[in-house]
Structure 1
Amino acid sequence: MNFKHKFLSISLFTGLGLMAGCSDFGDMNVNPNAATTPVTSALLTAAMTGIPPTTPTGALLEGIAGRLTALAVEPRLFVQYWSESQYPENSQYATTFADWNRYYAVTLQDLQTIIDYNTNADTKTYVAQFGSNNNQLAVARILKAYLFSVVTDRWGDVPYVNALKQTTAVPYDPQQAIYADLFKELREASAQFDNGRAFQGDILFNGNQARWKKFANSLRMILAMRLTKVDPATARTEFLAAYNDAAGYISTNADNATIQFTDVNQFRNPDNALFDGRSDYGVSDVLVNKLKALSDPRLPAYAAPTDNGDYLGLPYGLTRELLIAYTNDNEFSLPSAKVLAKTQPGYIITAAQMLLAKAEAAARGWISADARTAYNDAIRASWEQWGVFDATKYAAYIASPAVLPTTGDILAKIGDQRWLALYPNGQEAWSEWRRTGFPDLKPTPYAVNESKQIPRRYAYPNSEPTLNAAAYTEAVGRLQNGDKTNARVWWDKP
């Protein structure tokens, strides 16, 4: 895929949209040779990667593995993967609200445009040159479900059914209803693929329908697990439907859902851009100490050694004054060269993640598989994913008391290993921590938020009380603690 040409096309579409708004000038400035319908393959690639930055040190923000999704920084602080080294406000939970415009106005809008043009009788024939209408719709619906799952898991009730319709006054749908529709969308979209032309611009699976179906089933399984406390019956039903689907799910690293970044600055790993000339974050002492205690070989894959060759985590959640004093006298580990490499892929869903979901389902009695076997397979998959597998070390690791699960602690052990395996996907780790309570993370004693606890959600954008007042007020009325970060989304139960 030629990224340069793709984004040139996107820029042209934007220009066309602006010209369309200037109707008073008639045909005077209209190029008769220009396309009037978007190149949907370009929109797909843009939805996957995000819009390229305009500055040399800028990062890809949108997309399915950008800084707003799988590689979001702040959730990494919440789950204590990283610590801030200079300005610790986010580690002290100073965040009150977060904006969602880039989700709705960029990535979700790109996907909705693909859907619209493949269902409109006036345009569907034209855009079919970029892939059969059904294949385009299937891919766009699956990715739209993924993005909306991120959005609703961040805020709770959000605009959904009537979103993306060019209006600011949009009702907030209850998260329970959103989840029900996400399950439906993933089922229907997976069944919508046909034998026609593959969707061009697919840099995730290169048009491989089998892998798209595994991705859809895996996402269904993940979302089903979210409901274990609030609606265990639906959780089990939806999980089993996806788990038993003939298309399968992501169970080997060969099927991992990853965005492959490039060594070109505009399309590099967003974490590389984050450390371009700066070192505002270090790997937290919580993560480093856990890996050390387990003699876990993922430590050098996750963290860089200090100048003296040791791995030292940066204490989590210190005040600025304490940070200055600490960093003046101590070294600390940055993320590893592997994590920060320009071409390091962005992991969206991995085999290790899904094998741990399988282990949890077995531990809950939903499936007949052996929970411990699935758990061990997940650890191996994670080690292989990071290139640190060694048979002798692996045998000793899974037999060690700190790793070997018992009947009484298997869910806790699964939770701990899930936290380790998801790194550096803080968004997913934050959702799983909120759902399960594992690992047993303690808030910083220097928290500045009202609850003094790790945030459970983001407060709504501060523009909503003005631009969408009635819908905002109704949604806030459904939150037990109001529009605060200590309020819980629907599935997040004590």
Structure 2
Amino acid sequence: MKKYIIPLILILTACGDFGNTNVDPNNPTSVPVSGFLTNAIHFMPAYESGVTGLYYSQYWSATRYTEDSRYSTTQFDFTAIYSGPLNDLQKVIDMNSDPETMEMASESGSNANQIAVARILKAYFFLHATDRWGDIPYTEALMALENLTPSYDKQSAIYAALFDELDNAVEEFDAGAAPKGDILYNGDLDMWKKFANSLRLKMALRISDVDPAAAKAEFESAVADGVLATNDDNAIYHYLGNGVFDNPRYNDFLTRTDNAVSKTIVDKLLALGDPRVTAYADPIAASAGDVYAGMPYGLGNAEAGGYGFDEVSLPHSVYVKAKDSSVPLLTYAQVLFGLAEGASYGWNAGGTAESFYNAAIKASMEQWNVFDQDEYDSYIQQAEVDFDEAKAIQLIGEQKWLALYMQGYEGWAEWRRLGYPELLPAPAAANNSGQIPKRQAYPASESQNNQANYEAAVARQGADNLDTRVWWDVE
């Protein structure tokens, strides 16, 4: 498996010293380190809101070519994560650590601060990957030509390593210059610390069923160190909408209408009178007023073809699929729901489960610009929303799912962990079990190019299919 892309010409020309004979002054060979950081951040929304995750969590439904929404694809390629953002971040770390390049790298910010941000982002991408595939290459990954067949680490070991990585990265920040190329937090180091601690909080909850002692300790440590505290702290990827850096959804929907908002979430929002429906979806084109109708989920191609595009709600024209529509990556609402869950377990969250739960709903509505105090007060008093300690996890799971719209893979992960809401599989499911996937299978290239390590991982983890549960997903 290739983790670095190294042009062959670089290997060949490195064998001799030809002075300046072949140096093109118009194409400098030293690349600003800030460019690697920017490029890695640019990958984040594509993974956070990937369309497969939006299908699995039933935020979107396919209107045509419905195979992927029916789980027909088993194998998913993780090599792009390694050769893309993880490779870029490793370059940031290497160039800021190597005595021969540290001075040049410091032009993009202090060495320590660049390394710290890169380590936090590496943890983010590794977490995304392990939650999709389970056991993956970690310890021996990103070693370039030194190791093209890395072994797979257990997911439990990866989680333990990522907790340490995030904790140590926060400690590495110094008083030097902030990293350049930071298009997420614009060099605000305090925000990066909150982001790292919020990732730790999310991870702690992820393992609460399989290692409750470690989960409690990591949760309480993250809270004490400081997590996202307002919507102003949200990690949001802002597309410029300038014709170059446009939200890909804009082009997707410009000439095609392959997806609509799922009936699953639209019906839930409408049943609750939830104002977020007006930010998540457009009214159906066939209506004269504000009428919303979701696309039935997981239909076969023939059945889906019976629905006209003007009969179902498409993703919102401003908040979701405009040129400059932003993508949420990690939000205050997520953190508040996490605090509510931790408090429901008796962990030290700094407040009550009910107060955090209600605040999370409010934060989500504010995030999507639909908050009205009177409507909110009525909303949280409904029987299906009003907090009840006896069914705390159900309520948190259902409301967190609603708040995670457009964070498809995160919504899927939380559904697998909490079991709420009670999603039904695609009626025309194309996979063998007919059930919603529990993980994604490894790319075919691994069984061919890294066979021994691939087979060891499968023997340890379970069948390489969509039904094998990852380590933290217990029944």
Q: Compute the TM-score of the two structures, normalised by the length of structure 1.
A: 0.91
Q: How many residues align?
A: 462
Equivalences for residues 212-361 of structure 1 within 5 A: 212-245=192-225, 248-307=226-285, 308=287, 309=289, 310-327=291-308, 331-337=311-317, 338-361=319-342
Residues 60, 259 of structure 2: 8 Å contact kept: yes
Rounded to whole Å, the distance in 2 between the matches of 1:31 and 1:89 is 49
Amino acid of the structure 2 residue aligned with 1:320? N
Equivalences for residues 63-212 of structure 1 within 5 A: 63-66=43-46, 69-166=47-144, 167-212=147-192
Match of residue 432 from structure 2: 450
Rounded to whole Å, the distance in 2 between the matches of 1:33 and 1:321 is 56
1:21 is the counterpart of 2:11: yes
Match of residue 54 from structure 1: none
Unmatched tracts of structure 1, length 5 or more:
1-13, 50-62
Match of residue 33 from structure 2: 40
Residues 83, 314 of structure 1: 8 Å contact kept: yes
Match of residue 30 from structure 1: 23
- The alpha carbon displacement at 1:17 in A equals 5.2
Q: Deviations over 1:151-191 (max 9, x none)?
A: 11110000111111123211001111100010001000011
Rounded to whole Å, the distance in 2 between the matches of 1:34 and 1:83 is 46
- The alpha carbon displacement at 1:111 in A equals 0.1
- The alpha carbon displacement at 1:29 in A equals 2.3
- CA gap of 1:78–1:33, structure 2 versus 1, over 3 A, is closer
- CA gap of 1:25–1:126, structure 2 versus 1, over 3 A, is closer
Rounded to whole Å, the distance in 2 between the matches of 1:159 and 1:456 is 20
Local SS of the residue matching 2:461 = coil
Residues 37, 123 of structure 1: 8 Å contact kept: no
Match of residue 462 from structure 1: 444
- The alpha carbon displacement at 1:95 in A equals 1.2
1:363 is the counterpart of 2:344: yes
1:491 is the counterpart of 2:469: no
Match of residue 436 from structure 1: 418
1:386 is the counterpart of 2:386: no
- The alpha carbon displacement at 1:450 in A equals 1.2
- The alpha carbon displacement at 1:465 in A equals 0.9
Rounded to whole Å, the distance in 1 between the matches of 2:11 and 2:262 is 50
Match of 1:411 among 382, 388, 393: 393
Rounded to whole Å, the distance in 1 between the matches of 2:124 and 2:30 is 26
Q: Deviations over 1:276-333 (max 9, x none)?
A: 21110010110000000000000010010012031011001111111112338x7101
Amino acid of the structure 2 residue aligned with 1:323? A
- CA gap of 1:486–1:97, structure 2 versus 1, over 3 A, is same
Amino acid of the structure 1 residue aligned with 2:103? T
Q: Deviations over 1:414-444 (max 9, x none)?
A: 0011001111100111111111111110102
Residues 327, 406 of structure 2: 8 Å contact kept: no
- Superposed CA RMSD: 1.7
Match of residue 53 from structure 1: none
Local SS of the residue matching 1:83 = strand
Rounded to whole Å, the distance in 2 between the matches of 1:168 and 1:121 is 26
Residues 251, 352 of structure 1: 8 Å contact kept: no
Amino acid of the structure 2 residue aligned with 1:188? N
- The alpha carbon displacement at 1:90 in A equals 1.2
Amino acid of the structure 2 residue aligned with 1:423? Y
Is 18-27 or 461-470 further displaced after alignment? 18-27
Q: Deviations over 1:218-265 (max 9, x none)?
A: 0000011100111111111111110111xx111210000111101123
Q: Deviations over 1:52-107 (max 9, x none)?
A: xxxxxxxxxxx1112xx111110110111010001110121101100112100011
Residues 137, 151 of structure 2: 8 Å contact kept: yes
Rounded to whole Å, the distance in 2 between the matches of 1:493 and 1:158 is 19
Local SS of the residue matching 1:348 = strand
- The alpha carbon displacement at 1:35 in A equals 4.2
Rounded to whole Å, the distance in 1 between the matches of 2:244 and 2:447 is 35
Residues 142, 186 of structure 1: 8 Å contact kept: yes
Rounded to whole Å, the distance in 1 between the matches of 2:191 and 2:266 is 34
Rounded to whole Å, the distance in 2 between the matches of 1:226 and 1:217 is 14
Amino acid of the structure 2 residue aligned with 1:219? L
Q: Deviations over 1:197-229 (max 9, x none)?
A: 111111111111110100000000001110011
Rounded to whole Å, the distance in 2 between the matches of 1:34 and 1:324 is 52
Amino acid of the structure 1 residue aligned with 2:292? Y
- The alpha carbon displacement at 1:479 in A equals 2.1
Amino acid of the structure 1 residue aligned with 2:237? I
Q: Deviations over 1:443-466 (max 9, x none)?
A: 022111111100011100001111
Rounded to whole Å, the distance in 1 between the matches of 2:28 and 2:160 is 38
* % identity of equivalent residues: 45
Local SS of the residue matching 2:165 = helix
Rounded to whole Å, the distance in 2 between the matches of 1:174 and 1:31 is 47
Residues 293, 311 of structure 2: 8 Å contact kept: yes
- The alpha carbon displacement at 1:25 in A equals 7.7
Q: Deviations over 1:372-391 (max 9, x none)?
A: 11111011111111110111
Local SS of the residue matching 1:118 = helix
Unmatched tracts of structure 2, length 5 or more:
none
Residues 419, 429 of structure 1: 8 Å contact kept: yes
Local SS of the residue matching 1:347 = strand
- The alpha carbon displacement at 1:363 in A equals 0.8
